[in-house]
Homo-oligomer: A and B are copies of this chain.
Amino acid sequence: MKAEIITIGDEILIGQIVDTNSVYISKELNKIGVSVYQITSIQDDKEHILEAFAAAQSRVDIVIITGGLGPTKDDITKHTICEYFNDELVFNQEVLDHITYLFKEFVKKPLLEANKTQAFVPSKAEVLTNRFGTAPGMWIELNQTIFISMPGVPHEMKGIIEYEALPRLQKRCKLPFIQHKTFLTYGMGESAIAARIETFENELPETVKLAYLPSLGRVRLRLSSQGNDKEVVEKAIAQQTKKLLPLIDDIFEGYEEEGSFEENIAKMLVTQGKTLAIAESCTGGNLVERFTAKPGASKYLKGSLVTYATQSKIDILDVDPAVIDKDSVVSAKVAEQMAVNAKKLYRSDIAISTTGNAGPTKGDSDVEVGTVFIGIATESGVESHKFMMGNHRERVIGKTVNKSLELLKKTLID
């Protein structure tokens, strides 16, 4: 089964928002064996929407539409759906009851006329309940193609996908099994890896695909396969994994499907009964944010001291000003003192620190832009590592966060 996602709304096309909805939908569809063939973002324009619907219908079995279902006038999706399906809007009492309930319980304001219009849905559509908002989701079938239309507000869309769309798709369609296995590697570039695994790649069976995904100092290698027989697919992936793994043994960090670095670190900390503290300079809160983004961080995370100003490193983290004078604020000794003192202040078992110059200018230290030191303090002592992360600010920060997580994981394994 192939799907196309159509996102409607000018805001994506003028670069005002990032299309995270499609990422979520693609991931969820893949899990149940629907492969996404195309993602199409178009404007709130009737003719263009009609054209995109027809093109998608000619290509795929399932068309997922997000956006353009709000109560305001720039949202024309519902009327365009009526035109495409030669249908008309009819009043739906159940939807109005749901909207009335949401207003009473959560909005705590009187219902507006604009909201009442949301109770009108195309007569050929089945309603997909929107638990978190007033615009209903819709399911319409036409000549073997399933159209699912949802509002673009992310948490409303997610609720409809999870509770309504996915269970119905699984019931309605005979879905194949899809498996991806993604190998996280570090310390080697895309071309060098490709040269090393060339024979493996040439010998891959047609049923297994390999992709290279480079990002912020790491390359991920993804093997993919699909088929109707789960066992056959799993066996194909397992066989190729067995061949690939010894070739990348020295640069292999783990499988992405088994969790991100930070998720694995969190698990290891909880299992080992250890707590973590962080002291950040150049990463400016990005490192701690990786941990607090997921619930449950309070089980192992004490917190992070973001000491951006040099004086704050002295005042709060008790870094020796003489060391800063002698070695500069971007130095091994400062990274080490930051880690040791964060560990002490937070009374944690492990502490990690970052100090560096992300650029574009040099700041309080004379070191070259891109120079970063990462310190790690544990019960058995402190160590620090120096890295040159290039001269692109965002990438220096991203690569430093990645490298910190790698070092932290290594520390927990040792």
Contact = CB atoms under 8 A, between A and B. Distances in A.
Interface of A: 9-20, 22-28, 30, 35-44, 48, 52, 55, 70-74, 107, 109, 112-115, 132, 134, 153, 155, 180, 182, 189-192, 194-195, 201, 209-215, 220, 222, 224, 256, 275, 278, 283-289, 291-293, 295, 297-298, 301-309, 311-312, 315-316, 345-347, 358-361, 363-364, 392-395
Contacts of A222: 10-11, 16
A15 B30 contact: yes
Contacts of A214: 70, 153
B38 A39 contact: no
B16 A112 contact: no
B298 A345 contact: no
B289 A285 contact: yes
A303 B316 contact: yes
Nearest to A51: B59
Contacts of A346: 309, 312, 315-316
A222 B14 CA distance: 11
A26 B14 CA distance: 5
A295 B213 contact: no
Interface centre among A27, A42, A201, A289 (most CB of B within 10 A): A289
Contacts of A308: 288, 292, 297-298, 301-304
Instruction: Report the copy number of this chain in the oligomer.
Output: 2
A185 to B, nearest CB: 13
Interface of A is mostly: mixed
Contacts of A286: 285, 289, 292
The 9 closest A-B pairs by CB, nearest first: A284-B292, A15-B27, A15-B26, A285-B285, A285-B288, A285-B289, A39-B41, A304-B306, A303-B308
A304 to B, nearest CB: 4
Contacts of A107: 189
Given A55-B55, A190-B70, A285-B306, A30 B14 contact: yes
A222 B291 CA distance: 35
A19 B312 CA distance: 37
A222 B13 CA distance: 13
Given A37-B48, A180-B14, A302 B309 contact: yes
A39 B40 contact: yes
Contacts of A190: 70-72
Contacts of A316: 303, 305, 345-346
B311 A284 contact: no
Nearest to A39: B41
A101 B190 CA distance: 18
Of A13, A70, A189, which is in contact with the most chain B CB atoms at under 10 Å from its CB?
A13
Given A71-B190, A210-B74, A346-B312, A155 B392 contact: yes
Contacts of A297: 284, 308
A191 B72 contact: yes
Contacts of A212: 70, 72, 74
Contact of A211 (B10, B15, B180): B10
Given A301-B308, A305-B316, A191 B13 contact: no
